Amino acid sequence: MGAPDRVRPAAAAGALTMPSSKKVSSRAALEAYEVFQQAKDGDPMRHGGNVMAPDPELAMHYARELFGRRNESTRLWVVRRTDIAVLEDPDLLDPPLDRSFKKPGGYVMRDKLAAARARAGTEKPAARATGHDRTGGRRPKATS
Protein backbone atom coordinates (compact mmCIF):
# COMPACT_ATOMS: atom_id res chain seq x y z
CA MET A 1 0.00 0.00 0.00
CA GLY A 2 1.05 3.52 -0.63
CA ALA A 3 -0.12 4.79 2.76
CA PRO A 4 3.34 4.94 4.38
CA ASP A 5 4.35 7.48 1.71
CA ARG A 6 1.66 9.81 2.99
CA VAL A 7 2.83 9.69 6.57
CA ARG A 8 5.86 11.85 6.64
CA PRO A 9 7.84 13.94 9.08
CA ALA A 10 6.49 17.43 9.39
CA ALA A 11 9.91 18.89 8.69
CA ALA A 12 10.30 17.39 5.25
CA ALA A 13 7.21 18.72 3.56
CA GLY A 14 7.25 22.36 2.57
CA ALA A 15 8.81 23.68 5.76
CA LEU A 16 12.19 24.44 4.25
CA THR A 17 11.57 24.94 0.56
CA MET A 18 13.45 27.88 -0.87
CA PRO A 19 11.27 30.37 -2.70
CA SER A 20 14.07 31.90 -4.68
CA SER A 21 17.55 31.15 -5.88
CA LYS A 22 19.10 32.34 -2.64
CA LYS A 23 20.44 29.21 -1.03
CA VAL A 24 21.56 29.75 2.51
CA SER A 25 23.78 27.26 4.23
CA SER A 26 22.61 27.40 7.80
CA ARG A 27 23.34 23.87 8.83
CA ALA A 28 21.94 24.68 12.19
CA ALA A 29 22.32 23.08 15.55
CA LEU A 30 19.07 25.02 15.91
CA GLU A 31 15.93 22.99 15.31
CA ALA A 32 12.26 23.71 15.56
CA TYR A 33 10.40 22.43 18.61
CA GLU A 34 6.61 22.46 18.65
CA VAL A 35 4.95 23.61 21.86
CA PHE A 36 1.62 22.29 23.11
CA GLN A 37 -0.07 23.93 26.00
CA GLN A 38 -2.71 23.04 28.55
CA ALA A 39 -4.27 26.23 29.88
CA LYS A 40 -5.86 24.89 33.04
CA ASP A 41 -6.27 21.54 34.66
CA GLY A 42 -8.42 19.24 32.55
CA ASP A 43 -8.14 21.27 29.35
CA PRO A 44 -6.95 19.52 26.21
CA MET A 45 -3.43 20.10 24.97
CA ARG A 46 -3.48 22.75 22.26
CA HIS A 47 -0.78 23.58 19.79
CA GLY A 48 0.51 27.07 20.44
CA GLY A 49 3.54 27.64 18.30
CA ASN A 50 7.14 26.68 18.00
CA VAL A 51 10.61 27.77 19.05
CA MET A 52 14.09 27.32 17.67
CA ALA A 53 16.56 25.79 20.10
CA PRO A 54 19.85 23.89 19.98
CA ASP A 55 18.67 21.14 22.34
CA PRO A 56 15.67 19.91 24.35
CA GLU A 57 16.71 21.65 27.56
CA LEU A 58 16.87 25.14 26.08
CA ALA A 59 13.76 24.32 24.04
CA MET A 60 11.95 23.83 27.33
CA HIS A 61 13.20 27.18 28.64
CA TYR A 62 12.04 28.95 25.50
CA ALA A 63 8.70 27.14 25.47
CA ARG A 64 8.17 28.32 29.02
CA GLU A 65 8.80 31.88 27.86
CA LEU A 66 6.37 31.55 24.99
CA PHE A 67 3.58 29.97 27.01
CA GLY A 68 4.38 30.30 30.64
CA ARG A 69 5.66 33.75 31.40
CA ARG A 70 2.17 35.04 32.04
CA ASN A 71 1.01 32.14 34.21
CA GLU A 72 -1.19 31.02 31.34
CA SER A 73 -0.40 27.28 31.35
CA THR A 74 -0.46 24.38 33.76
CA ARG A 75 1.42 22.04 31.46
CA LEU A 76 3.55 22.20 28.32
CA TRP A 77 4.62 19.51 25.91
CA VAL A 78 7.74 20.40 23.96
CA VAL A 79 8.37 18.15 20.98
CA ARG A 80 11.09 18.21 18.38
CA ARG A 81 9.35 18.84 15.07
CA THR A 82 11.16 15.99 13.34
CA ASP A 83 9.72 13.62 15.92
CA ILE A 84 6.19 14.41 14.81
CA ALA A 85 4.61 12.17 12.21
CA VAL A 86 1.97 13.91 10.12
CA LEU A 87 -1.01 12.20 8.54
CA GLU A 88 -2.86 14.28 5.97
CA ASP A 89 -3.80 11.65 3.43
CA PRO A 90 -7.43 12.20 2.39
CA ASP A 91 -7.73 8.54 1.36
CA LEU A 92 -7.20 7.62 5.00
CA LEU A 93 -8.93 10.55 6.70
CA ASP A 94 -11.73 11.20 4.27
CA PRO A 95 -12.32 7.99 2.31
CA PRO A 96 -15.04 8.28 -0.30
CA LEU A 97 -17.46 5.42 0.47
CA ASP A 98 -20.51 5.91 2.65
CA ARG A 99 -19.79 5.86 6.37
CA SER A 100 -22.89 7.63 7.61
CA PHE A 101 -23.78 4.60 9.75
CA LYS A 102 -20.90 5.81 11.99
CA LYS A 103 -22.42 9.24 12.66
CA PRO A 104 -25.66 10.67 14.12
CA GLY A 105 -26.60 12.20 10.77
CA GLY A 106 -27.05 8.73 9.41
CA TYR A 107 -30.18 8.08 11.47
CA VAL A 108 -32.95 10.45 10.47
CA MET A 109 -36.16 9.19 12.01
CA ARG A 110 -38.55 12.11 11.87
CA ASP A 111 -40.86 10.64 9.23
CA LYS A 112 -40.76 7.15 10.69
CA LEU A 113 -41.59 8.47 14.18
CA ALA A 114 -44.50 10.46 12.79
CA ALA A 115 -45.80 7.33 11.07
CA ALA A 116 -45.41 5.26 14.27
CA ARG A 117 -47.30 7.86 16.34
CA ALA A 118 -50.01 8.06 13.73
CA ARG A 119 -50.44 4.28 13.82
CA ALA A 120 -50.50 4.23 17.66
CA GLY A 121 -52.78 7.27 17.84
CA THR A 122 -50.38 9.10 20.16
CA GLU A 123 -49.03 12.65 20.29
CA LYS A 124 -45.53 13.84 20.78
CA PRO A 125 -44.94 13.92 24.54
CA ALA A 126 -45.13 17.48 25.89
CA ALA A 127 -42.07 17.73 28.11
CA ARG A 128 -39.25 15.55 27.02
CA ALA A 129 -35.98 14.70 28.65
CA THR A 130 -32.90 14.70 26.51
CA GLY A 131 -32.20 11.16 25.44
CA HIS A 132 -28.78 9.61 25.21
CA ASP A 133 -29.03 9.85 21.45
CA ARG A 134 -29.15 13.61 21.98
CA THR A 135 -32.69 13.94 20.65
CA GLY A 136 -35.54 15.36 22.65
CA GLY A 137 -35.09 18.03 25.28
CA ARG A 138 -37.13 21.11 25.97
CA ARG A 139 -38.18 23.48 23.23
CA PRO A 140 -38.58 27.10 24.25
CA LYS A 141 -42.24 27.52 25.25
CA ALA A 142 -44.44 30.01 23.44
CA THR A 143 -45.66 32.78 25.75
CA SER A 144 -48.85 31.58 27.38
User: How many residues belong to the site for other proteins (CB under 8 A)?
Assistant: 41
Query: Per rule CB under 8 A, is residue 43 in the interface with other proteins?
Result: no
Give the CA distances from residue 55 to residues 27, 61, 66, 107, 142, in Å, rounded to whole numbers and listed in that order: 15, 10, 16, 52, 64
The verdict on 32 binding other proteins (CB under 8 A) reads yes
Q: x/- binding map, residues 75-114, to other proteins, per CB under 8 A?
A: -----------x-x-xx--x-x------------------
CA torsion 61→65→71→73, rounded to 10°? Answer: -70
Q: Which stretch binds other proteins (CB under 8 A): 58-66, 101-109, 121-129, 132-140?
A: 58-66
State yes or no: residue 24 binds other proteins (CB under 8 A). yes
